[in-house]
A and B are shown apart, each in its own frame.
Chain A
Amino acid sequence: ETGVTQTPRHLVMGMTNKKSLKCEQHLGHNAMYWYKQSAKKPLELMFVYSLEERVENNSVPSRFSPECPNSSHLFLHLHTLQPEDSALYLCASSQGFTGVHYGYTFGSGTRLTVV
C-alpha cells in the first residue's frame, strides 16, 4: 500500500464519546500533519510532528490530543467534542523542513460528525 491512508473515512460520535483517527504513511516521509477543513474556511493546521516530535500545536483545544508513536503513524484522539468540531480531518506527510518544500501528500480524510 502506498501514499497516506486514513481511517475511518466517516465517523459519527456523540459529544461524550471518545474516538481516535488513524493516519499511516508509506512514503518514508519524516514529517506528519493534522489539518481541519470546515465548509467555507481555508485549511487549518492543527498539529505538526517531525521525527515523532511535536513541533507545532496551533492553539488547538485540549479535547484534541495527537499521538505520533513512530514516523509512519499518527493518531488524533478525540473526546468530549462539540458540534462545531464537525469537519473533514486531513492527515498529510512531507519530507521535512529543510531545503525546498515540494508540498504535501494528503490522505483521503475522515469526515467527522459530532451529534
Chain B
Amino acid sequence: TQLLEQSPQFLSIQEGENLTVYCNSSSVFSSLQWYRQEPGEGPVLLVTVVTGGEVKKLKRLTFQFGDARKDSSLHITAAQPGDTGLYLCAGVVGARTYKYIFGTGTRLKVLA
C-alpha cells in the first residue's frame, strides 16, 4: 500500500509563529499537491509541484518538493488564525493519474 505520511498530525501555535508541515513517502510522485480544508467544507487546492527541488511561494506559504520527488514540505511564516484548518498533501504515482493518494493530514490551529 502506498502511503503519504504527514507530520505532525496536530499543531497548535500562537499567531505570528512559524511552522513547517512535512509529507513523506517511499514512492516517487509525478506531481504533488497541497490542500487546505476547513471544517464542513471540501479541500481547496493551494499548489501543485512537479519538478524535484521545486519551491513555490503563495504569500506567507512556501512549498518545497524534494529532489527525489518522494517528499514535500509546507512552511508558513507568521501564522494567522485564518490559516487554521486541515492541511493535506496528495500525489500521483505513475501514469494513470486517478491513482491519487492523499496524505494522513495535519490539523493546524492558530490561536489569536
Residues of A within 8 A of B (CB): 4, 6, 31, 33, 42-43, 45, 48, 50, 55-56, 88, 90, 92, 94, 96-98, 100-109, 111
Question: Which chain A residues lie closer than 8 Å to B78 at the CB level?
Answer: none
Minimum CB–CB distance for B46 against chain A, Å: 9
The listed residue (A31, A50, A56, A108) touching B42 by CB distance below 8 A is A108
Q: Is A92 touching B90 in the complex (CB atoms < 8 A)?
A: no
Question: Which chain A residues lie closer than 8 Å to B92 at the CB level?
Answer: 101
Minimum CB–CB distance for B1 against chain A, Å: 11
If the complex has contacts A48-B98, A90-B42, A97-B98, are A103 and B33 also in contact, measured as CB distance less than 8 A? yes
Which has the most chain A C-beta neighbours within 10 Å: B31, B98, B103?
B98
If the complex has contacts A100-B31, A102-B48, are A92 and B102 also in contact, measured as CB distance less than 8 A? no
Q: Taking CB as reference atom, which chain B residue is nearest A50? A: B98
Q: Residues 41-75 of chain B: 1 if any A CB is under 8 Å from the residue's CB, otherwise 0?
A: 11111001010000000000000000000000000
| Separation of A111 and B112 alpha carbons in the complex (Å) | 29
Minimum CB–CB distance for B38 against chain A, Å: 10
Question: Which chain B residues lie closer than 8 Å to A4 at the CB level?
Answer: 42
Question: Which chain A residues lie closer than 8 Å to B80 at the CB level?
Answer: none
For chain B, the count of residues having a C-beta within 8 Å of the partner chain is: 23
Question: Which chain B residues lie closer than 8 Å to A109 at the CB level?
Answer: 40-42
Q: Is A42 touching B48 in the complex (CB atoms < 8 A)?
A: no
Question: Which chain B residues lie closer than 8 Å to A48 at the CB level?
Answer: 98
| Separation of A92 and B92 alpha carbons in the complex (Å) | 15
Q: Is A101 touching B104 in the complex (CB atoms < 8 A)?
A: no
| Separation of A102 and B102 alpha carbons in the complex (Å) | 14
| Separation of A31 and B100 alpha carbons in the complex (Å) | 13
Question: Which chain B residues lie closer than 8 Å to A103 at the CB level?
Answer: 33, 35, 45, 48, 90
